[in-house]
Amino acid sequence: MIVNHNNGFETLYGHADYLLVSRGDAVQKGTVIARMGSTGKSTGSHLHYEVLFAGEAVDAEVMVE
């Protein structure tokens, strides 16, 4: 799932077991959007999370400074 933040940023969430929102739904801080799962070749339940800016992955820790 990719959430578009309408400011050039997107957040990507992978390995979801069950999606709780649909394309086009508006979400706010605190909205539960999916249930963590174990898909593909993963060895256990976890969340894959990426921050994207203009479609490119960025180091979110660096952006906090």
Query: DSSP letters of 1-65?
Result: -EEE-SSSEEEEEESEEEE-S-TT----TT---EEEB--TT-SS-B-EEEEEETTEEE-HHHHT-
Number of domains in the chain: 1
pLDDT digits (tens, 9 = 90+) for 1-56: 999 999 999 999 988 888 999 999 999 999 999 988 887 787 888 888 899 999 99
Query: What CATH number has the domain bearing residue 50?
Result: 2.70.70.10
Q: Which domain holds residue 19?
A: 2-63
